[in-house]
Chain A
Amino acid sequence: MLLSGKAHVFGDDINTDYIISGKYKFKTLDLAELARHVMEDLDPDFYRKITAGDFIVAGRNFGCGSSREQAPLAIKHAGISAVVAGSFARIFYRNAINTGLPVVECDTRAIEPGDELEVDLGAGILRNRTRGVEVGITPLPAVMLKILNDGGLAAHFRKHGGFSLD
């Protein structure tokens, strides 16, 4: 899978309340509506700045906090192709894979806002085309790669009739 787009850069410990506030997620399952409020408390105009295919780039512990699956879903429906971060909180990481949002763990410290990035999930490489550098990506565990390749956990269940992780 080859993804490309520009970087929107955030800091460390971006929690799921920042990704999608509780005041919206309890009200609706309309993902287009939730997507309009993604990252709103950090940048009220964020949704309007996204071009389909762009990346959210962050530091350590992205997605900490609540278990709300609306977080990866809102990001995905806002047009973001993948989240690239130094590290992820574990529930968010699982939820992202389960809902088919690629998560890329690598050193993000040299990425600046607006950098043009290319992520090759198969080769495990992130290319920063603006800066002409490449960094290696921490590979997904085989189990998660299988779920992601099936299109998420719901699709995996439909395909195999349950967990088929061997």
Chain B
Amino acid sequence: MGRSIIEKILSRKSGQEVQAGDIVVAKVDFAMGQDGTSPLAIQAFRAMGGEALFDPEKVALVIDHSAPSPSEGVSNLHKLMREFARETGCHLYDVGDGVCHQLMLESGAVGPGSLVVGADSHTCTYGALNAFATGVGSTDLAAALISGRMWFKVPPTLKFVCHGILPPGVYSKDLILFLIGQVTADGATYRSVEFGGEAIRALSMEARFTVSNMAVEMGAKAGLMEADERTAEWMAQYSRHTFEPVVPDPDAVYEQVLEFDVSRLEPQIARPHRVDNVAPLGEVAGLPVDEAVLGTCTNGRLEDLRIAAALVRGYRVSPNVRFIVAPASRSVYLQALRDGSLETLVQAGAAVVTPGCGPCVGTHNGVPADGERVISSANRNFKGRMGNSKAEIYLASPAAVAAAALTGEITDPREFLK
């Protein structure tokens, strides 16, 4: 019987032929935690009697969610992470290095066929590199740090086949919002997802990361893609290691195959307070916004900053809007400095904050006021997500965020592309 990508990776990593429904203990290639989850993991590591890491080269702690620290409580937890990293010899990415997921993608340690656990739900982002990467909690992370292993129930797979090429002004963010709207927030719970078809193959690696990043917003355990020449180029740029891509069998068994023609897709938007509350952006065009956020692990990469810069060039940000830009990593920041994208954004009126999660998780960098409306390139719009339960968050593409920053209202970005 044919196997899906996740069945093949878990077979390889557990040393036995497995299929959906089996329980396996598999070898972990890399384990990662961030500043919201690592402190509890360190506590659990000690409670489990942990003394050494399974392999310090294969472990990274990242200070990104609340960085630089806004309070003494956060500072003390950051200090705990730094001390643990010093003591165990693992990688530590500190304030200003960037969002954990972007750093993992740039690290070269994760590639096709890898198995990665991260104590952050958006670890599924690396599925675009053909890696089985999934979010776990702090105690699971601690178990992986000690043993280099993790138990999994092999999930069934739901396959999305996207036909056609996205039209101009419509991006991979619109595509994944559309798919989430179709299957809803628990449409892929306990399942692995594979994204394929002409529309996916035509995307850059950066645009593909946006798609896999949001697989968890439909409940999925993984958001996998096949490796191709673009994957190979990314790995050649960032990694010295060799990887073995995993191809699903032609007769792989899928729980469901969903096909969409996306060649006429329009810009999409997720309305408050649910990621699956998706509509064509035109339906809410004209709603005033107070804050526009460009960044995060979903859409803070170089391509995203370039799209926004091209759109705002020659214009000024609306006086009614705070336009906050958080590059996803130090490397993205430097490249956007060198190519002039950041200069363009700052000239237009953007406020650039430290590479990292920015205001996405509500700890710093732009908590909205009561009754305010935010448009963001992030992946979650839950009530209170950005630190104020009396504010509204709309999710859209970097182009739509930039367009709203200029006009002060939700605006179809294609109006700036004419």
A binding-site residues for B, Cβ under 8 Å: 13, 15, 17-18, 21-23, 25-29, 41, 60-61, 64-70, 73, 87, 89-91, 94-95, 98-99, 141, 143, 152-154, 157-158, 162-163, 165
Does B12 sit within 8 A of A, measured CB to CB?
no
Q: Which residues of B contact A17 (CB under 8 A)?
A: 362, 380, 382-385
Q: Which 4 A-B pairs have the closest CB atoms?
A: A27-B73, A95-B137, A61-B186, A69-B137
Does B173 sit within 8 A of A, measured CB to CB?
no
**A69, B48: Cβ atoms closer than 8 Å:** no
Task: Determine how close the nearest CB of chain A comes to the CB of B126; give it in whole angstroms.
Answer: 15
A18 to B273, CA, bound (A): 11
A60 to B137, CA, bound (A): 21
Does B332 sit within 8 A of A, measured CB to CB?
no
Q: Which residue of A lies closest to B138 (CB)?
A: A69
Q: A13-B186, A23-B362, A69-B37 are in contact. Are A157 and B48 (CB under 8 A)?
A: yes
**A65, B121: Cβ atoms closer than 8 Å:** yes
Q: A26-B35, A157-B143, A162-B146 are in contact. Are A68 and B73 (CB under 8 A)?
A: no
**A162, B23: Cβ atoms closer than 8 Å:** no
**A67, B361: Cβ atoms closer than 8 Å:** no
**B77, A99: Cβ atoms closer than 8 Å:** no
Partner of B137, one of A22, A61, A67, A143: A67
Q: Which residues of A contact B137 (CB under 8 A)?
A: 67-69, 91, 94-95, 98-99
**A41, B389: Cβ atoms closer than 8 Å:** yes
Task: Determine how close the nearest CB of chain A comes to the CB of B80; give it in whole angstroms.
Answer: 9
Q: What 0/1 readout, one digit per residue, does chain B (76-87) give for beta carbons within 8 Å of chain A?
A: 010000000000
A103 to B363, CA, bound (A): 29
Q: What 0/1 readout, one digit per residue, does chain B (50-79) give for beta carbons within 8 Å of chain A?
A: 000000000000000110000101100100
Given contacts A66-B135, A94-B137, A153-B48, 18 further A-B contacts (CB under 8 A): A17-B382, A18-B383, A18-B384, A22-B36, A22-B361, A26-B35, A26-B66, A27-B71, A61-B185, A61-B189, A65-B380, A69-B138, A70-B40, A90-B190, A95-B138, A95-B139, A98-B137, A163-B147
Q: List 7 A-B contacts (CB under 8 A).
A: A22-B36, A28-B73, A67-B137, A91-B121, A153-B139, A163-B149, A163-B151
Q: Which residues of B contact A163 (CB under 8 A)?
A: 25, 143, 147, 149, 151
Task: Determine how close the nearest CB of chain A comes to the CB of B413; give it in whole angstroms.
Answer: 27
Partner of A154, one of B35, B74, B139, B274: B139
A60 to B151, CA, bound (A): 25
Task: Determine how close the nearest CB of chain B comes to the CB of A29; give it in whole angstroms.
Answer: 6
**A67, B66: Cβ atoms closer than 8 Å:** no
Q: Which residues of A contact B143 (CB under 8 A)?
A: 153, 157, 163
Q: Which residue of B lies closest to A162 (CB)?
A: B147
A41 to B138, CA, bound (A): 24
B binding-site residues for A, Cβ under 8 Å: 23, 25, 35-37, 39-40, 43-44, 47-49, 65-66, 71, 73-74, 77, 118-121, 123, 135-140, 142-143, 146-147, 149, 151, 153, 185-186, 189-190, 219, 221, 274, 361-363, 367, 380, 382-385, 387, 389
**A66, B40: Cβ atoms closer than 8 Å:** no
**B37, A158: Cβ atoms closer than 8 Å:** no
A70 to B44, CA, bound (A): 12
**A154, B120: Cβ atoms closer than 8 Å:** no
Q: Which residues of B contact A67 (CB under 8 A)?
A: 37, 118-121, 123, 135-137
**B382, A15: Cβ atoms closer than 8 Å:** yes
**B362, A22: Cβ atoms closer than 8 Å:** yes
A148 to B221, CA, bound (A): 22
Q: Which residues of A contact B361 (CB under 8 A)?
A: 22, 26
Q: Which residues of A contact B382 (CB under 8 A)?
A: 15, 17-18, 65
A84 to B120, CA, bound (A): 24
Partner of A26, one of B74, B119, B385: B74
Q: Which residues of A contact B123 (CB under 8 A)?
A: 67
**A29, B384: Cβ atoms closer than 8 Å:** no
A95 to B140, CA, bound (A): 8
**A69, B40: Cβ atoms closer than 8 Å:** yes
A163 to B152, CA, bound (A): 12
Q: Which residue of A lies closest to B121 (CB)?
A: A67
**A154, B48: Cβ atoms closer than 8 Å:** yes
A71 to B6, CA, bound (A): 28
A64 to B43, CA, bound (A): 24
Q: Which residues of A contact B142 (CB under 8 A)?
A: 153-154
Q: Which residue of A lies closest to B72 (CB)?
A: A27
A61 to B217, CA, bound (A): 11
A94 to B36, CA, bound (A): 18
| Most B C-beta atoms less than 10 A away, residue of A13, A69, A94 | A69
Q: Which residue of B lies closest to A66 (CB)?
A: B121
Q: Which residues of B contact A21 (CB under 8 A)?
A: 362, 384, 387, 389
Q: Which residue of A lies closest to B123 (CB)?
A: A67
Q: Which residues of A contact B25 (CB under 8 A)?
A: 163, 165
